[in-house]
Amino acid sequence: MSQKAKERRAILDQALTARAAVAPTERPALAPRQLGPIAEQANLQAEHVATRAKAYDEAKAHGRLLLQLDPKKVRATEFQNRHELSLLADDAKFAELKNSLKAHGQETPIRVRPIRNAAPFEFEIVSGHRRHAACLALDAETDGGFRILAIVDAKASETRDLVLKMYRENEERYDLSAFEKGRMFARWLEEGIFAEQQELATHVQLSPATVSQYLSVAELPDEVIEAFGDPRAISLRWMQALSGALKASRATVLANAARVAKHSPRPAADVVLKELTAVGRGAKRRGGPEAETVKMGGKSLYTISWKGSRVSLKFGKQVEGELVGEAQEALKQFLSDWLKKRVKS
């Protein structure tokens, strides 16, 4: 017997059992021909149940199943691309979102995918981390809790599909900062979701050069990021100036970035940029040329070059191999004696 037939039989048995429970004096005789309407009704109810079950399965499979969930049963994905500052109560945009949800309810559902063996969590976010964080905060503040509207997206089981849906969601709503986007792209490459920048660029519909710029923001030294305070304030168009300053004198830029980071209150982002880039240009002017050649009789004795704290020395062709070795030892002895007098132990 098929499942559908079993469901119909169960409904029919239930109807007949209820009818048999009526007292004999109250129960009219049931002629065989009168079973027709009961069976027909049972068939209709069974078909209705089957139709609803089929619609549920189809909606779930195609990402159209809308549920009201306990936000505590939903967890963020490891590929969350929002910076943690975007999910704090004192973030202006986050506070605005939370107040809107509290006053008007949630008009746009988040998207989730089912997970297993992750108690107490039953779902993982595909898109909508800020809305989930806001609902989670409201849930803690509201008597009886605060439910979150979610669309179950079973198709987001593949990691690449998951991260691309998150990316498109942010592009269409509240775009990520250059730092968040760069960190997101870097994570995709580290995890092997995309084999190379070209493939990644194709899927997000950006040029490889633009993807490279975003990656360079995420790769800025920690001292520079700390100088800005909030890395979301770093603009993509600033990267040429920052990269140039670091190339001219990385050590000086990092030292001054650490100094700027101690300011309280922290300067505005554009002021920090000016300080860091001016330091880089100034260091190059004060430190002299990047390379200097010392000659004798019109021929090169050696060329000394430097980049930040890195110094290199190249002897000219007229300095023979034996002299090179002696010069190396003499230079080493000189630097050791000179530095020991000046560097604190």
- Domain spans, the chain: 3-61, 65-176, 222-287, 291-330
Query: Among 23-27, 48-52, 139-143, 337-341, where is mean pLDDT lowest?
Result: 23-27
Q: d(Cα 162, Cα 76) in Å, to the nearest integer?
A: 12
How many percent of the chain have pLDDT more than 90? 9
- What are the residues whose beta carbons fall under 8 Å from the beta carbon of 1, sequence distance 6 or more? 9
Q: d(Cα 156, Cα 136) in Å, to the nearest integer?
A: 23
pLDDT at 72: 94
pLDDT at 6: 54
Alpha helices in the chain (DSSP H): 3-20, 35-61, 92-104, 129-141, 159-172, 178-190, 197-204, 208-218, 222-228, 239-261, 269-287, 321-340
Label residue 98 exposed, middle or buried (CB < 10 Å: 0-12, 13-18, 19+): buried
Contact at 8 Å (CB) between 146 and 138?
Answer: yes
User: Which tokens belong to 67?
Assistant: 């549920």
Specify the CATH number of the domain 65-176.
3.90.1530.10
Q: d(Cα 332, Cα 284) in Å, to the nearest integer?
A: 26
User: Which tokens belong to 319?
Assistant: 């300095």
How sure is the predictor about 19, in pLDDT bands with cuts at 50, 70 and 90? very low
Q: What are the pLDDT digits (tens) for 68-104?
A: 999 999 998 777 667 677 667 777 888 888 888 888 8
pLDDT at 227: 92
Whether residue 54 has pLDDT greater than 80: no
How sure is the predictor about 330, in pLDDT bands with cuts at 50, 70 and 90? confident
Sheet containing 65-69: give its strands across: 65-69, 148-152, 110-114, 123-127, 74-75
Highest mean pLDDT pick, 26-30, 132-136, 303-307: 132-136
Cα 196–199–205 angle (5° rounding)? Answer: 135
Whether residue 105 has pLDDT greater than 70: yes
Whether residue 241 has pLDDT greater than 60: yes
Contact at 8 Å (CB) between 216 and 254?
Answer: no
- Axis-axis angle for helices 208-218, 197-204 (nearest 10): 110
Whether residue 312 has pLDDT greater than 80: yes
More confident residue, 196 or 59: 196
Q: How much is the mean pLDDT over the chain?
A: 76
Residue 314 host element (H or E): strand 310-315
Residue 300 host element (H or E): strand 299-307
Label residue 39 exposed, middle or buried (CB < 10 Å: 0-12, 13-18, 19+): middle
Whether residue 57 has pLDDT greater than 70: no
Whether residue 5 has pLDDT greater than 80: no
pLDDT at 108: 83
**Mean pLDDT value across residues 227-236:** 89
pLDDT at 111: 86
Q: What are the pLDDT digits (tens) for 130-157?
A: 889 899 999 999 999 999 999 887 665 5
Q: Estimate to the nearest angstrom the gap between the alpha carbon of 336 and the chain centroid.
A: 48
The 3-state DSSP class for residue 330 equals helix
